[in-house]
Amino acid sequence: MKYLLSFMVILLGFSACKNKKDIAATEGPINLNKNKAMTLFQDGIVDFDTFEGKSKIRFEDAERQLSFKATVRVKKDEMIWVSAGMLGFEGVRALITPDSVKVINRLERTYYESSIDYVGELTNMPVNFEGLQNLLVGNWLFFDKDSAKFEEKEGIVELSSEKDAIVNILWLDNVTLLLQRQTLLDQINDRSMEISYHDYRPMDDAAFPYESVIHVSGRDEAWIDMEYSSVELDSNPSFAFSVSDKYERIY
């Protein structure tokens, strides 16, 4: 059960959306400084009420290699819903809110519920509901603007911050300001999470990376590749979540 919940939580963080104006006609690098880069990046984060994406996920750790199909739905600031399975059958359904994590395991006919704090314990990273949602919309995690540093390199804008021994580094394309890679380092607990974003495609007024790769290292190590086949914004998807009386409650 712990593994299934860990997988469901980690896979949520593999997509990003940015406003189309940031990938529009620009013939060369923008004349940037730290404040302008942060403002343009934040202004480019897509605004949505609901998000829905259908994807294929490949997961690998020290013990196994697995492939799943998953549907991820988000109601902004309220809930994240995930359904994952194989061969057309749902195996696990999860509902995450700012306060709680609920998981139905149809394979084992069990149900689990916990505080949102358990997300951080399972992923071995300081991730909460806001962090998961920010990952889904391409926003930064635990980025401290007051300590932010700015550096331009060839083709890349690097923004970094450090607070309470948490270092966050963002690599943005210096023309489009699209997020290319994000690294989160927990120096006290010697753990890290790195996410890279690929295959940006226009989508209405945004650009969406249809493939994202995440690497978690530290106490445990895992790699996940997530490829979206479809993405919709504000389509009013269902967030149905009900538990059969026949399922065993796991504490």
The pLDDT value given to residue 92: 94
Report the DSSP beta bridge partners of residue 193. Answer: 184, 216
Residue 241 lies in a domain: no
- Confirm if 10 and 218 have CB atoms less than 8 A apart: no
The DSSP annotation for 162-202 comes to EETTEEEEEEEETTT--EEEEEEEETTTTEEEEEEEEEEEE
CATH of the domain at 140: 2.50.20.10
- Please state which of the ranges 1-15, 30-44, 68-82 shows the lowest mean pLDDT: 1-15
Residue 247 lies in a domain: no
Residue 250 lies in a domain: no
Question: What band does 123 get if pLDDT is binned at 50, 70 and 90?
Answer: low
Residue 99 lies in a domain: yes
The pLDDT value given to residue 179: 87
Residue 67 lies in a domain: yes
d(CA 108, CA 125): 27
pLDDT digits (tens, 9 = 90+) for 236-247: 999 999 999 999
Residue 248 lies in a domain: no
Instruction: Find, among 78, 77, 86, 72, the residue nearest to 9 by Cα.
Output: 72
Q: Where are the alpha helices (DSSP H) in 12-50?
A: 34-43
Q: How many domains does the chain have?
A: 1
Q: In terms of C-beta density within 10 A (0-12 exposed, 13-18 middle, 19 or more buried), how is residue 30 classed? A: middle
Q: Mean pLDDT in the chain?
A: 82
Residue 79 lies in a domain: yes
pTM comes to 0.80
For residue 113, the enclosing domain spans 2-234
Q: In terms of C-beta density within 10 A (0-12 exposed, 13-18 middle, 19 or more buried), how is residue 34 classed? A: middle
- Confirm if 74 and 127 have CB atoms less than 8 A apart: no
Return the SS3 of 246. Answer: coil
Residue 221 lies in a domain: yes
